[in-house]
């Protein structure tokens, strides 16, 4: 439990820096006194989250491949993998951002943006999205740093980016008078800072990258794809779920979307430790799985669940006590204030089930079943979101949308928990089989084919 706690709190520092800046960003935008601006950021954030899911998937692939090769003593191949992922990220970033920009107004209107909000969201995304490839290479470099055991420099890259964003936000928004454009420009400059702060030590200190070549990229494409595609699919599910919720919320007006945007920035600040838990507990489960210590795998999984419960209860109590000052901070009124109050009450407690899903996904990824995490995430963010959010909308309006989404999380958290228990039990039975018996050979044969 102490190990899980220490790893989670340490990992969360870098995440907290980014999320805190996004939160402050929203405060500054709210100070401009126009709900349409906050709503525009809400729509833009949903679309940008989708594109960033691709970057996250590629960084997961880079970290896994580089760490494995370094552990096997193949440093040169580790460098090739790092360079190949960076090149793929560059190509994917330019291609994706180009396609999205070409269809930007249509995509934002699908989410429910219209009129002035659509115009503002389009302008905001148009400034940030062309730097998608910058963020992709930066996240790959940070994954390479972590694979080399240099978590401090990886964390500092995010902190430097957060500091640049936090300093430039008020200057560009208020002093220069750029408003929403200033917030977008500050984010672009922060991304460039993160790229420099991560790429320089990854290359100069650890010699983590080889000279890129298209031939090597083509050769490495298969192993990169094998990890990246399930990881991208897992992460893409989240913005799709958010898009469903935003579209349902949009029918209740700009105030409701603004409230959703505030919650979207407040949630990761309050629960960044839970978000970090999946990255922290994964190596613990993976190492014990490799050592065939299944009792410790179970203990680590349960420790993650207990840690989630303890943290969520404490943070929910803090949010409940501070719900009025938080709403006042954003000058929230009407539906916006109601949704913030809802989040600082039952919705905050429901974050426990999101934490359970994070822990189960990390368990699947490190126990050799990454496809299970993909199915859990997709189920949670499609059926588990659309069906219950629609029902909640019919019953309780905008608040019902969020409550329905939370209820779907409960169902898939339970499913994930049961599936993890079954996976561990099956692995134990597999270990108990005599490896050179007929039964052992058949189990190995069918197990490799997933039967």
pLDDT in tens, 50-62: 788 888 888 877 8
Q: Is the pLDDT of residue 166 over 80?
A: yes
Q: Residue 450: its pLDDT value, please?
A: 39
Q: Residue 118: its pLDDT value, please?
A: 92
**Tokens 């402050």 found at:** 24
> Residue 356 and residue 375: Cα distance in Å, rounded?
15
Q: Residue 264: its pLDDT value, please?
A: 80
> Residue 140 and residue 137: Cα distance in Å, rounded?
5
Q: What letter would DSSP give residue 433? A: S
Q: Can you give the pTM of this predicted structure?
A: 0.72
For residue 283, name the pLDDT band (cuts at 50, 70, 90): low
Ranges of H-type helices in 129-213: 132-147, 151-170, 180-204
Say which residues have a Cβ less than 8 Å from residue 218's Cβ, sequence separation at least 6: none
| Nearest Cα to Cα of residue 263 among 328, 344, 317 | 344
Tokens of 303: 């420790």
Q: Is the pLDDT of residue 252 over 50?
A: yes
Q: Residue 278: its pLDDT value, please?
A: 72
Say which residues have a Cβ less than 8 Å from residue 352's Cβ, sequence separation at least 6: 308, 309, 312, 313
Q: Is the pLDDT of residue 11 over 70?
A: no
> Residue 292 and residue 287: Cα distance in Å, rounded?
9
Residue-level length of the chain: 451
Secondary structure in 3-state letters for 169-183 = HHHHHHHCCCCHHHH
Q: What is the mean pLDDT of residues 144-169?
A: 84
């Amino acid at each position: 439990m102490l190990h899980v706690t220490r790893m989670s709190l340490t990992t969360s520092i870098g995440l907290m820096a980014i999320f805190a800046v996004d939160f402050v960003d929203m405060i500054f935008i709210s100070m401009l006194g126009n709900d349409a601006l906050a709503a525009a950021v809400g729509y833009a954030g949903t679309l940008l989250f989708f594109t960033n899911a691709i970057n996250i998937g590629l960084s997961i692939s880079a970290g896994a491949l580089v760490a494995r090769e370094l552990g096997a003593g193949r440093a040169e191949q580790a460098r090739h993998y790092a360079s190949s992922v960076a090149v793929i990220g560059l190509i994917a970033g330019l291609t994706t951002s180009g396609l999205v920009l070409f269809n930007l107004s249509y995509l934002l209107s699908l989410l429910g943006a219209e009129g002035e909000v659509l115009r503002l969201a389009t302008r905001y995304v148009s400034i940030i999205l062309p730097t998608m490839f910058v963020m992709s290479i930066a996240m790959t470099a940070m994954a390479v740093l972590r694979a080399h055991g240099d978590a401090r420099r990886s964390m500092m890259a995010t902190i430097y980016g957060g500091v640049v964003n936090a300093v430039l936000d008020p200057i560009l928004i208020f002093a220069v008078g750029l408003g929403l454009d200033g917030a977008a420009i500050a984010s672009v400059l922060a991304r460039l800072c993160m790229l420099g702060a991560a790429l320089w030590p990854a290359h100069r200190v650890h010699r983590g990258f080889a000279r890129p070549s298209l031939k090597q990229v083509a050769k490495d494409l298969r192993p990169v794809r094998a990890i990246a595609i399930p990881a991208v699919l897992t992460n893409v599910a989240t913005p799709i779920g958010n898009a469903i919720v935003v579209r349902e919320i949009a029918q209740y007006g700009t105030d409701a979307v603004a409230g959703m945007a505030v919650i979207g920035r407040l949630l990761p600040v309050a629960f960044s430790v839970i978000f970090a838990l999946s990255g922290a507990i994964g190596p613990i489960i993976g190492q014990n799985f490799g050592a065939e210590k299944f009792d410790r795998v179970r203990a680590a999984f349960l420790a993650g669940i207990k840690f989630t419960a303890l943290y969520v209860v404490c943070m929910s109590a803090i949010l409940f006590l501070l719900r009025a000052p938080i709403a006042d901070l954003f000058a929230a009124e009407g539906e916006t204030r109601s949704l913030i109050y809802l989040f600082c009450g039952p919705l905050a407690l429901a974050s426990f089930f999101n934490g359970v899903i994070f822990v189960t996904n990390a368990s699947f990824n490190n126990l050799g079943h990454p496809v299970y995490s993909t199915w859990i995430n997709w189920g949670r963010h499609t059926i588990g979101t659309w069906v219950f959010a629609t029902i909640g909308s019919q019953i309780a309006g905008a608040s019902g949308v969020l409550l329905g989404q939370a209820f779907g999380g409960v169902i898939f958290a339970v499913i994930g928990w049961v599936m993890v228990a079954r996976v561990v039990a099956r692995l134990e039975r597999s270990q108990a089989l005599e490896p050179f018996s007929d039964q052992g050979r058949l189990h190995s044969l069918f197990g490799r084919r997933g039967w």
